[in-house]
Amino acid sequence: MDAALGRPVAATSPFPLLSVLVALTWCGCERDVPRRPQPPPGASTGVETVLVPEKLTSIESGEVDALGKPLRVPCVSCHSLKEPARMPSGPEALQEFHRGLQFRHGELACTSCHQADAPQSLHLATGEPLPMVEVVTLCSQCHGPQARDFRAGAHGGMTGHWDLSRGGRTRNNCVSCHDPHAPKYAGALPVMPPRPPHPPPSTEGRPHE
């Protein structure tokens, strides 16, 4: 479309040589003019991916491996083999692995989100099953404003490139920051404790006048 429109204009221009000269002078070496050409509009080399935290596919065993790294057990190692027990009414009834789970997420029951007969999977409010890794869809059912902001890139943080034509970026998952069982964001101790703004200079270096 652009080329079809552009060619006749160039051909009918009364001063083709002059316009080339003007163009050459115009994109000369003035300092404020960007020198680096940009990727063509619409070029996209990067993609946006949403993190899938380990906790969506495995659970801490409480043990450490030979290198001292916490050992995680995939959900399927138990949940695909064992006969599913009845879904407990609350986390305190759990005897293995999920012990000590704190639950502070409104009036929800385990089965509000987990499938009663396949606790490693989720279900939507409609009852439609949902794989654990698609938890963002589950949270979005109730937390509309946050989901809207997240889709717009204004909630949850990211790393990588702001410019997707130059590289990808990674978005945090809901559960990267929020524990789904106690989603209020925990506080922290601040880093970079206050210091005197101008500490005395060290002994080496230039002597004081």
Partner 1 sequence: MNDFTRRTALKGAGATLGAAAFAHAMAPLTEWTKDLSLDEFLQRHYKELTPEEMQVILRRLEEETKREYGRDVTIQDLPPQEGVSFGYALNLSVCIGCRKCAEACHQENNHDRRSGNSYIRVLEMEQGSLDLERGNADYDHAVPAPGKYYLPVQCHQCDNAPCVKVCPVQATWKEQDGVVVVDYNWCIGCRYCEAACPYHARRFNWTKPEVPAEEINPDQGYLSNRIRPQGVVEKCTFCLHRTRAGRLPACLEACPTGARVFGNLLDPKSPIRWVLENKRVFVLKEELGTRPRFFYFFDK
Binding site for partner 1 (CB under 8 A): 29, 31-38, 145, 149, 152-163, 165-167, 169, 172, 177, 185, 187-199, 201-202, 205-206
Minimum CB distance to partner 1 smaller for 72 or for 166: 166
Minimum CB distance to partner 1 smaller for 68 or for 200: 200
Dihedrals phi, psi of 135, to nearest 5 degrees: -60, -25
- Least CB distance from residue 208 to partner 1, whole Å? 11
- Least CB distance from residue 129 to partner 1, whole Å? 29
Are the C-beta atoms of residues 72 and 59 closer than 8 Å to each other?
yes
- Least CB distance from residue 104 to partner 1, whole Å? 17
Minimum CB distance to partner 1 smaller for 161 or for 181: 161
Minimum CB distance to partner 1 smaller for 47 or for 125: 47
Q: How far is CA 14 from CA 6, 47, 163, in A?
A: 15, 45, 40
Contacts of 101 (CB under 8 A, 6+ apart): 91, 94, 181
